[in-house]
Each structure stands twice: as C-alpha cells, then as structure tokens.
Structure 1
C-alpha cells in the first residue's frame, strides 16, 4: 500500500491501539507491523478468523497468554556453547508452558470455530522439554540441588566448609586479644575469602595473609592463617559447583536446540493468535462488524465512524470528561460504485469533509488488514490494489512548496499509479490558485479518473465542480450538513446535495453589519444566483429520493438481521429436536450399568433399573442408589430462554410496524414458524410424559391404538425387557415395538383417531379360537393342499364389518381362591430373592426382587424394567426333568382328550404355563429309555419357548387373561 496514504490517515495510531490489546510482546511486535493485503483469499481468511475469535472471546474468554514472552534471544543463547544461564531456561520453560495453555484453549473451542482450532496444530507439544528444564532449574533460574547427585554433594560440602570458616573467623572476634587489634569487630568478604579489618599499626601482631589495605591506609585486611586452608578448600568447591552447573545447563541446551525450529514456529503461531485476540477484543469493545469484501464491487459504508475518533471519545469517557465537553462521533453513510463512481463533496469549512475522506481510507485499510471496522452490519468494501490520498493538511506538506504546488506534485504521482482497482481521495481539489483555473484543472483531473474507471472522492469549494456532477455520468454531489442557526457543522454527509460555504450567513450571525452582508449578496453575480436556485430545486427532489433509499436500506438491514436471528433460532430448535429424538431412542437402548447424567445431583451415575409404573429410574451414584424422575434424564431444552428470546424478537418486530410490508411479512412468517416449532417441542415433552404413563398402566388384554393399520389392536403379550408387544387386530397377530403404541398421544406418530367401528364381541372360548384358526387356514401342521383351500375360502369370504373400539378393560387376574393358585402362592412365598418366576399375564420369566406377603404383592425384574404384580399372577419355574409317576404308567394316549383331533390346536389349559400343565406336556411317553425321554423333553421345551417368543401367523396364542 502507498506509504504516504498510511502516514496521512494515521494508520500507525490504529497499530498502537491494536498493540494495546495484545497480551504478550510477540503479538505487540506483529501488531505494530501489520500491513493491508491485496489477496482476496488472505483477507477473507483473516476476517473469518477474527469473526470466530470474537465469538470465542464473547462466549468463552480471550486466549490465556500468561507466561508467554518473546524468547528469541534466549533461544539464541540456549545452544551448545551459547552461554545460556538458568534464567534463560526458566524463561523458555515459562513460555512453552504458556504455549501449551494456548494450544489447549484452541483445541477445546467449539467445532464451529474450525479456523481457530486449526491454529492449535502449529503449536507443538513441548511437555518433555518443560519437564527437563523444571527438573534442573527452578522458576528463579537457580539450578536445583537435586539436578544431579554430584551437585548436591558439592553444595553440601560448601555449606559445611562455610560454616567451619564462620566458626574460625568469629572465634577471632570473640578473642579479647584479637579484638583489640581490629579496626572494627566485623568480618569482611574479599573476593571469595573471609578477612578481618586490622589496624595498620597492628598488622604484624596477627599472623595471616594481607589481601589489601583501605584507601586511607589505616586498615589492612588480613586472612588469619587458621582459615587460609579452609578458604582454599571453599574456592575449590565453588569451582567444582560452577563446572557441574555448566554441565547440566549444556545438557539442557542440547535438548532445547534440537527443537529450536519447532519452538520458533510455535512462537510465530502464538503471535498470530495473540494478534487475532487483540483484533477480536478491539472489535468486540467498540461493536465493530465484519464488512462484506469482494474483488470488484460497490463501496457501501453504513453508519461509518472513524476509529480514532471512537477511541478518543472512549478515552474522554473513561477520564471523566463531562458529556457536553466531549467530541461526539457522528456516523456517516458513504457509497461508491453502484450508481456513481466519483463523489464531489462540498460544504463549509470544519464541516467534516476531510474526516470523511480519512474515514473511508482508514476503514478500507483496516478491512484489508483483517480487522473488523466500526460500521453497521451489511456494509460492503471492494478489495483495492492501492489507496491514494492527497490531504491538504499543512503539516503534511513540504514547507518549500506552495499549497497549489504540493497538490499538483502529489496528484501527478497518483495519476501515474492508478488503475480501475484503486481508490483515489483528493482534498481541496483545485484550491490554492485562481478559482477559474483551479476549477478547470479539477474538472480535467476528474475526467482522468472517470477514464480510468476507479472509485474516487474529492472535496472542494468551487461552484464549477459542483456543476460537474450534473453534467457527467457516474459522478454525484454530496455535502456536509451545516446548521445556520447555531453556526456549527453537524458532520452528517448528504449524498445528492451540493453544499454551500454559508460565508455570508455566518458573517451575519457573527454580527457583521447588515449593510455589508446586503452588499455582499448584491456583489454575487446573477449567474451564480441562478446556479444556486437550480441546485436548490434539484436538491429537494434528490434529498427525498436519498431519504427513501436510506430508509429502504435500513429496513433491508433490519429485516436481514431478523431473518438471520430467526434462522439461528430455528437451527437451535432443529438441533434440540434432534437431541430430543436421540434421547428417546437412547432410552430404548439403555441397559443396566449404563452411565447416565443426573442434573439434580450434578454428577453421573450407573443405571440400576427403570420403573415405568412409577416413572422413575434407579441410579447408582457413588455406591448410593437414588430414585430419579425419568424426566430428569431428558436433556435441558432451554425453553424458558427461548420464550424470552421470542418475546424480545416479537417486540422488535412490532417496533418495525411502520416499515416496508415485505420485511414485516417475512418477520411474521419466521415468527409463526418459530412459534410452531416451539409448540411442537413443548407438545413432544407432554406427549412423552403421557406415553410413559400409558405404557406403565398397560395390561395384557387392553385394547390400544397402534401406528399401523387398522389402528386398533388388543394386547396379547408384553415384553418390557425387549421393548416389544404382541397384539391382535382384525388383520391378525404381530409383534410391534412399544413405540408403535398410543400414536395419537405418543411422540412417535401423529395419526388421526381411528374411525368408529362396531363393537366386536370378545372371543375367549377355546371353541371360538379353534374355529378362528380353522377359518384362517387350519393348523400349521396342515399340508399345502389344505392350506391352499383355506386361503381360497378366505379369498371368497365377504369382508368383515368394521367394529367399534372396545373400551379399556382391566386385565383378568387369576383367582387366588383356586387350589392351583393357592399352591402357586405357597411355592412363590418359599422362593428367595434372585430366583426365577413365571409371570402369567406376560408369558415371560422374571427375577424375583422382593415379596410383600401382607399386601399379596411381589416385585420382579425383567431386563432393566421392574414391575409390581399380585402374587396370584406368579408361578414358580418348575423342574421339567422326566420323573416317574402314575401317569407314566398309563401307557400311550394317557393325556389325549376324548374326541380331540391330534392336529387341533392346543388350548392354553392344555399347553399350560411353566407349572403343572407344561410339566405334563414335558412328560415322556412309556417305552423310551431315560436318554430318549430326556431328548424328548428338551425338544418339547424348545418348541414351547419358540412358540412363546415368536408366535406364528397361523397360530392362536393363549387367552389374554391371567385366570385359570
């Protein structure tokens, strides 16, 4: 980028502000040298990274840079022979630890912040080097005693020798004869040796080595003979310590230098992350946004503010400057490249014309440097190859040139460099010379810019240049607003309206005699007056059009913001719905011992069992079993926050009632969709509660609605452990999932209520069941010919009349007064917890948990489901091994019922449960060996188990009752 432009717009000031948000010297150094890029891919990457870092700073925190410093010089010394000391390695360890913390921070960010997570890959793992340094050097840079055994021994000897020397020296001080010879009763350290200050006249009276004399010569420093050898020993030990320390540091230098390139790469990534964090914090504090960038397109800045003025206002506020004394920051709207490419700005002095140019240049430079800018969302910027500015500030011009000469020199340079991908900003075009000639030169320069096709803005006071925009395509006027009543600028930019200098009005307001202001108006030429009237007449219509355009743009931006907000909320609802459905599916897959999260306990536990009849789950948390409502295992859907957000959004929509109909229609549509989604989500929660309650109350024999044709069926068997149910409808029997029950009130289907059917009389008798089986094609043991004939009969049979759904009726319990029930009760009471029992209504085995004899109840467990049942519904599981009895001796045909066809289906009383009925069926016929009898019994047991678990389509199951 053009260095003159960077200097004139004070880009260095933004660099200093950015460096102030950096956390370490690495980031500060990079921030002070940032430059705009011209590569679209690079700019897009930078801006996206900053956007993600803003989200991380807002939702988490800034990256932790504690302990990180620029260790480049330390690494240079931390080479073999480089002379690094303990402080160098302590600083290196501190920075590598900080790098580890930053890397962990990036890795733990949300997956949506993928660009930041990728930066973690550039920061290596240096835990081994950190441990090696810490085991050798402490945080103060001192080599630890335990760094090596030799060093520990040497330092122990040094301590002992030093103490011995102290004892000898201080022994001299305590001797009265010696103390009279001393200048002062103190001990002095000369180099590494302990000496006594002896009066010069007594130097021969104390035997020892004289090291030096004082400046006055009145004192000599004598090392007593008794400590000479000890001091020599101490000097040798200190030298041994130095060599051992050097050896240990050299080992560290070898280890660190082996990875110096990786460490240097990590430092570069740390600097990049720190710079991104600084950009994000800067943007977040001043509510900056990411502009829409394009290689070639319009420039459209809405509510743009100069960043240096924003920072100045912020500092004034922090320093306590009174609000009326602060400099307000007035946002401006600027556009180029849509309906015009060049903008001529006119207006009064100190009205903000130059600030407008600098604002546009600064924001473009910041955006191409990968920074968010203080504009409203939806602002657009093209990517410029270069930006050229010619600002007429006196301090920015060479003093040896006149104002006009300085302008011409700079503009000549600009015209020689520009192309259609550049932005040109010219201040006070045509000034500094004769107005007519200056206007002619200014028009020629604008012609040149139009010919190149670049975007540009120019400020001027010349009327001829105001008319230029009316006579040339792709050029428009703009002005900075001026309040004549207060004689002060408002700093607002009005596109489409040329401005006036208001010199006569200002002079009159300031007290200029009326005769002079009147004479001034007379001196204004008639042509100039006509020009002003024409401009004013044109400006009225243009201002109205510009106002309408501004309102339409504002409405579009607000509608876009609402749209994105609703889309975000809808995405959240879709995510919540997926989580809810996933949770429902996971509930069906829960097994004993699975780990579940219990929000009320704020900890996880292991599932012990689910008690659907009580709608609770028993969870083992830290070896303590607690009962948790089943709803607690459902994830928090955050519906309260959603309702609050909907309320806020509804208020925003109502505030926009007077805006365009298109935006309102879109907002209403999104609101209704959002409300429907929320209602569906809440309804799913209520439906799931109802479904759980219905499943808990369900009994064999109940007529229920199902999610399949014909919509109603009667429950024949419940397999809560397998989450299945066997049902019978007018279409036959089938095994369905529990999810297919109660679809009208459950969360798995939304079918309309079944149509009214005439009531179908119940069929409980054995003759009716046998007749129905015969009607459907006979027993499964029929041959193909018989089954074909039966199928033909079914084909010609008239369709059944529809039946009314039967009301739910209680499951028929076994009468506890029968002899068999009494025997079963006594046998069940004799069982111990953990033994197997047979649940007659469910046709399934279960494990006995506990018995309440007083209430005639028992709790059994099947899979992870726990049920409470009457004792009359339970039977002990008997041993089915063959045994001798009177019935074995009756010979063949002993169990055959009179008049019974051998191919006729067995009734429930004949098939029986695992009690006496099944024991009879399992009894082997006479004439077989014990081995043959055992094989016959095992086959019969296997056939019974298969019939119970997988009923065939042509077989009638046992009656749905629990009675005898």
Structure 2
C-alpha cells in the first residue's frame, strides 16, 4: 500500500472493513482495496455502496454463509477431473448462495448501481438440489444417490447381518467361552473378528488380523465367516466404484456450468464487499457525501473512524471553497494532527467507495494524489534528524504534487531555528500553491499565521483551547488564527508572575500586538458564539411550542370529528328506534280495527291510548340532546339461543329470538308480526327463563375427558431437535409428522442445527424412506439455511 495511505492509517480502516466480510476471499479483497484516482470510478463505487445500504436497511443484510473459494475446483471440473465429495459440496453451497442472493434482490424493484453484479448471478437450482440430495457430507453419500448404490448397500447390510449372526453363535457358544477375551464382535481392516486370548488362539480356527497393544488378545476371523467377509469386501469395492461414478457424473455437470459459476462467484465476492461496506457504515453511523472533482471539501461533524465513538469530538473541516490552503495552529495535544488525519483519511475512504462518518450535507473531493507528511521518521542509520526527515518528505511531495493533489503537512518547518524554519515554511507553502494543490498544514509559527492573514486564498484555523481548565476542546475553528497560550498556561500552573512579566518584555512589540489582536478576535468570536447558541436555543424552544400547539390542535380536531361521528350514529339509531316503534303502533292499530265489534273494544282503545302516550314520552326523552339517560347496567345470565323469550328494553315488549348472533353480535327478535334487529345489551332474559340443557354424563359416571379437535390443537409447523441424539430425534420427527398429517399440514420445518452434520444427515436420510414425504430441501436465506430441513408432505 502507498506509504502516504499508511501514514493516514487507511490500512487500519480496511482491516475494520475486512472484519465485516463473511468469507475469506472477500476479506482479502477488502484488504487490497485501493482508492480511485478519478471522479467517475469513485462516484460509481460510492453510489453502489449507498444503494446496497438502502436495500439492506429495508430488507436486511444477507449472509454468504461462509462460502469457500471454489474457482480451483471449477477449473478442474471443466478440464474433466473428478472432484471429491467435499469439493462438490463447496460448489453446491456456492450455488445455494447465488440463488439466495438472487432471490433477496428480487424483493426490491428499484434499480440500483449494483444491479450489474446481481444480473450475472446464474443459479443452477437442479444441480444444487441433486448434490444436496445425494451428498450428505464430505464423508457420506446418500443411499438414494443412485439405484445401484442403494441396492449394493442393501446387500452389504444383509451380508453383514449374516456374518454377525454367525459370529454371535460363536461368541455365545460354550465351546469358545473360555477362549474368548470377552463375548463381543469387532472389526479389523474392514473384516468382522472376535477377541481371543493369546494362549487360546489355536482353539479358534481362523485368520489372525491384529493383536492388542498389551499382547494379551488376538483378533481372529473365524474360518466360518471368511467367505462372507470376502463377499462384503467385494460388495464394498463395488460400492466405492459406484460412488466414484456418482462423483464423476456430478463433476461433469459442474464442468458444464463452470464458467458461469465462476463469474457468479466473482460477483458474489464483490457483493459481499459491498455488504461489508454497508455494515461498516451502519456501525459508524455514516452518511453519503456529495462527491466533486473541483477539490472542494466540506466535512460537517466529521469523526475520525479509529477513535472511540464515545470519546471522539466531531469537527467541521472546509477546504477548496474560497481558499485552497488551510493553516491550522494551536497548542500541542490540541487536536491539530487528528484534524489533519481526519481530513486525509475521510478523503481516501470516499475514493474507496465508503460512506463517511460525517453529518448529512457534507462534500468530499476526489484527488489523483493524497500526499502526507505527518509524524517523525528520524533515522540514525541514514543520519536523518526530525528536520531532515520532514524535508526529505517535502522534496518527494514537491516532485509529485499537481493540481489534482491534496497535500497534508504536520509541523511544517519544525525542528530547526524558528526564524529560518518559519521562512522555509512560508516558502514551501508558496511553492505548493503554485502547483495548484489543496493544502492543509499545521504550525506554531506566528509568521505563518501572518502570511495566512495577508495572502488571498490562505485561511487560518485553530484548535480551541480552554485556558480556564488547561485542556483542549478539540474543536477546529476556521477563519480564526490560533493564539499562543504559553503565558496564560504558565500563570495558571503557578509560575511566578515576575518571570512571566520579564518573558513578556522580551517578546517583540509586533508579536505582542499580534497576540493582542488575536485575543480580541477570540473574545469577540466567543461572545458571538454564545449569542448564536442562545438564539438557537430560543428558536428550538419556539419550534417545540409550535409543534406542541400543532399537536394539540390536531387532537382537538380529531376529538371534534369523533363527536360528530358519534352524533351521526346516535341520530341514525334514533331514527331506527322511532321507525320500529311506529311500525309497532301501526300493527296494534290494525289489530284494534279487527276487534272493534267486540264488547271490550272501549277498554282496549283506552289501553291503546295510554300506551301510545307513554311511548310518545319515551321518544321525546330519547330525542332530547341535553338529557342523558343513565342505563341500568345489565348482563345476560347466559348466552342467548334461538327460541328464547326476551324483553326488548327500549320498548318494553316481549318477543322471541329467531336468529343470531350475526357478525356484529346482533340478534333478530320476532315481536308479533314485526321482526326487529337488536343488540344483546338491549335484550333482557326473564328470571324464569329455562337454562341451557346440561351435557350428558358418561355412562360410568366419571369425568369424561374430551379430545381436542383439529382446530383446538396447536398447529405447530416447526420441530426443534437440536441437541438430541439421532435415535431420539428421529422418534420426535415421526411423532411430529404423524400429528401434522392428521391435522392436514403440508409444509413443515425441522430444525436440527448445523453442527457436525450427523443429525441433519440422519433426518434427511430418514425422510427419504417415508412414503408420505413429497419433497425435502435445505433452508434458504432467512429460513435457517443448512441448519433446517423444509419438508413438503403429500
């Protein structure tokens, strides 16, 4: 890496970036990242990062699952070589990641600057699925990888069972009880043997395959099982040949898509680098600066990315807009060098396409060269002092610098006689400005401050220092020359006053006047800053009150709207009740007309008139907008049923429930010839209303436990068997799948974790034997990836 970039600590920022990458190949890309030296490339790189950051903030950041570099395997497959099971699985994982990233991008429809990388991703879903179905791990091929392999393994298991039965008869035979070290069957060199005591080895006829480390036991293959063991060995050889054929077939299929997969893999690495930039940006709370090629820098609230975020003090740095040279002064440890490095490092980060830890609205420039003379590189071997090392760097910078260069120098002209050093510093600044560079330099020389005040295009800046506390504030103030605080600090620390006064008398009158002017400027600046702060506080308070008043107004408007809505609803309800009661009165009149010839007609007319007057009064009370009716609280003693006799409280009439409840909870009540829709709160059950029939008791008289139906059961679609042994996990899987079949669930997820892969392999192999399993696949991004198996039931 360029030594100037190392001086500004770009390498440490790239190490932070590499930590955010998810695979080794993309980490290496991050460490080798170089700043762009032209505007177009830098702007494109920054726009890609910004677009990816927008996508990840909206849809989450996808992981690449720790994929490994498979380009070597792809090349060998293309040339016809047979890949190992592990290499084929690596390719399958890359294909899985390609498909997952492609699917992730499909969530967003807005075009981005990184879409060219997404477009070259070429999933090969069929090959990916076939590999995962056939290869369970680097050491295990599934029985279902081919019909031939399945048949061979079935025959091997059958032959092994036959041998075990024969050996089981031998180890449990009284004839060999004394000869055996212990009654067990073991294996040596892939053949079944029994452990025999060394002194009894002639009593068991067979082939000796091994001896124990103590020499007390020999492992003998009885003659009775030699042929069977030979058969097993031959079948195992055929099995290996079939496995080799399967691997060769997969290798050929991979070779056919090797070029497209390699291109997709390279695009994946670039995307992972962009995801890493996005993660780092979120971690730094970074924003996207506005890039330009005019050499204008305006960093607002800039934070050095390598300083602890709880300790770093944001600074505002400007350069190139109105002035091309910034001279920064201030006390030692006041933050001058940090401001200088922040300016250079953020410029390099922007050229690398990284978002910056600055406030919104900041601007960054793209330079062909970023040159830095920061730090002391004394060398005894090369006879270089502090001054000499700085001059050597300046000479190198003068050879390279041009109009597209940013030059940063720390303590320019230091390490020699102050008078000569100041003159040399002014001359170097002048020479660099003649080359058209953007220059930021730190100094303690008053002559350089005067040069900045008297020269167009050169601006003073200082790092603020609080004399009262003898500590720097680390704020960078542009447009204000730094003041020497030596006398004030000495007085604060207790140096005798007579010494300080004598020192002051030795300072030239010009320097004294200059310091007085700077002091007055600083006092005026602080006063104006306090006034601005007070004005900002007042404006913030006014904005807060304005927002509070707006919020209250909106609340009042909402309350008024609610009252209007309630009034409309009440009016609508009043109209409905009036219509219902009017219909009831009309029905009673019709009934009364039919009975006019009866003897008690007069009495009925009087009762009718009395009821009419009472209902008119009720309607008048209901329509009164001022009077509020305090309804008696009433709760139905039980749920209403069709056929119940109820009283409609509003009209004090009895009727029969004929339907309900509907979606709104209302019931339909038959009142004579009229039907009325009522809310349950308007209905009353008579005290002598019959209770709902009790549930029949079981014949035994005991408590009957009802089995919950399918809708009452918990419809679980996931099963977590992490941490279980294979046998225990498979039993849980069977119970879970039986329950899902009974409940009609078609898609379920089994969580077995990643781990060593043994539990996953057992589950997936077991699922292939189940007739009611339609398909299975590893989880995709967002589902758990290789830690889960998604099952579809028939």
> Shorter-chain TM-score category?
0.5 to 0.7
Give the structure-1-normalised TM-score.
Answer: 0.54
Is the Cα–Cα contact under 8 Å of residues 466 and 477 in structure 1 kept in the other structure? Answer: yes
Asked if 1:28 is matched to 2:32, the reply is no
Alpha-carbon shift at residue 41 of structure 1 (Å): 2.0
Is the Cα–Cα contact under 8 Å of residues 295 and 367 in structure 2 kept in the other structure? Answer: no
- Match of 1:274? 272
CA distance in 1: counterparts of 2:245 and 2:419, whole angstroms: 84
Aligned length: 568
- SS of the aligned residue for 1:482 comes to strand
Compared CA separation, residues 165 and 245, structure 1 to 2 (3 A)? same
Alpha-carbon shift at residue 248 of structure 1 (Å): 0.6
**Deviation digits for residues 118-158 of structure 1, max 9, x if unmatched?**
43211112112213313422366622212211111111111
CA distance in 1: counterparts of 2:380 and 2:456, whole angstroms: 33
Alpha-carbon shift at residue 115 of structure 1 (Å): 2.9
- Match of 2:543? 655
Please point out which of 440, 454, 458 is paired with 2:423: 440
Is the Cα–Cα contact under 8 Å of residues 68 and 99 in structure 1 kept in the other structure? Answer: no
Higher relative CO (Cα under 8 Å, sequence separation at least 6) belongs to: 2
**Deviation digits for residues 510-539 of structure 1, max 9, x if unmatched?**
333334333333333334323322444566
Alpha-carbon shift at residue 200 of structure 1 (Å): 3.1
Asked if 1:509 is matched to 2:492, the reply is yes
CA distance in 1: counterparts of 2:263 and 2:200, whole angstroms: 67
Alpha-carbon shift at residue 242 of structure 1 (Å): 0.6
Is the Cα–Cα contact under 8 Å of residues 106 and 119 in structure 1 kept in the other structure? Answer: no
CA distance in 2: counterparts of 1:495 and 1:431, whole angstroms: 22
CA distance in 2: counterparts of 1:114 and 1:264, whole angstroms: 23
Please point out which of 205, 208, 223 is paired with 2:206: 208
- SS of the aligned residue for 1:220 comes to strand
- Match of 1:50? 49
- Match of 1:300? 298
- Match of 2:253? 255
CA distance in 2: counterparts of 1:64 and 1:397, whole angstroms: 50
Asked if 1:348 is matched to 2:347, the reply is no
CA distance in 2: counterparts of 1:451 and 1:539, whole angstroms: 31
Alpha-carbon shift at residue 345 of structure 1 (Å): 0.8
Compared CA separation, residues 67 and 536, structure 1 to 2 (3 A)? closer
- Match of 1:4? 3
- Match of 1:823? none
Is the Cα–Cα contact under 8 Å of residues 96 and 128 in structure 2 kept in the other structure? Answer: yes
- Match of 2:375? 392
CA distance in 2: counterparts of 1:490 and 1:462, whole angstroms: 21
Is the Cα–Cα contact under 8 Å of residues 398 and 406 in structure 1 kept in the other structure? Answer: no
- Match of 1:402? 385
Question: Unaligned 5+ residue runs, structure 2?
Answer: 566-672, 675-794
Compared CA separation, residues 461 and 67, structure 1 to 2 (3 A)? closer
Is the Cα–Cα contact under 8 Å of residues 120 and 267 in structure 2 kept in the other structure? Answer: yes
CA distance in 2: counterparts of 1:217 and 1:250, whole angstroms: 44
- SS of the aligned residue for 1:490 comes to strand
CA distance in 1: counterparts of 2:451 and 2:379, whole angstroms: 28
Asked if 1:451 is matched to 2:434, the reply is yes
Give the structure-2-normalised TM-score.
Answer: 0.64
- Match of 1:428? 411
- Match of 2:599? none
Compared CA separation, residues 354 and 399, structure 1 to 2 (3 A)? farther
CA distance in 2: counterparts of 1:141 and 1:370, whole angstroms: 43
CA distance in 1: counterparts of 2:357 and 2:391, whole angstroms: 33
Indicate the larger mover: 184-193 or 469-478: 184-193
Please point out which of 516, 532, 538 is paired with 1:533: 516
- Match of 1:192? 190
Alpha-carbon shift at residue 79 of structure 1 (Å): 5.3
CA distance in 2: counterparts of 1:281 and 1:505, whole angstroms: 47
CA distance in 2: counterparts of 1:139 and 1:39, whole angstroms: 48
Asked if 1:59 is matched to 2:42, the reply is no
**Deviation digits for residues 237-295 of structure 1, max 9, x if unmatched?**
11111110010110100111111121111112222222222222332343322111111
CA distance in 2: counterparts of 1:218 and 1:102, whole angstroms: 61
Question: Unaligned 5+ residue runs, structure 1?
Answer: 314-326, 556-650, 659-670, 687-853, 856-964
Asked if 1:520 is matched to 2:503, the reply is yes
- Match of 1:161? 159
If you compute each CA radius of gyration, which structure gives the higher value, 1 or 2?
1
CA distance in 1: counterparts of 2:107 and 2:35, whole angstroms: 31
Alpha-carbon shift at residue 232 of structure 1 (Å): 1.3
- Match of 1:466? 449
Alpha-carbon shift at residue 369 of structure 1 (Å): 0.8
CA distance in 2: counterparts of 1:515 and 1:534, whole angstroms: 24
Please tell me the root mean square deviation across aligned C-alpha atoms, in Å: 4.1
CA distance in 2: counterparts of 1:247 and 1:70, whole angstroms: 25
Is the Cα–Cα contact under 8 Å of residues 89 and 141 in structure 1 kept in the other structure? Answer: no
**Deviation digits for residues 415-469 of structure 1, max 9, x if unmatched?**
1111011000001111111112211221121111111011011111122222221
**Deviation digits for residues 382-427 of structure 1, max 9, x if unmatched?**
2100101111256999996321121111111111111011000001
Please point out which of 365, 371, 380 is paired with 1:382: 365
- Match of 2:319? 336
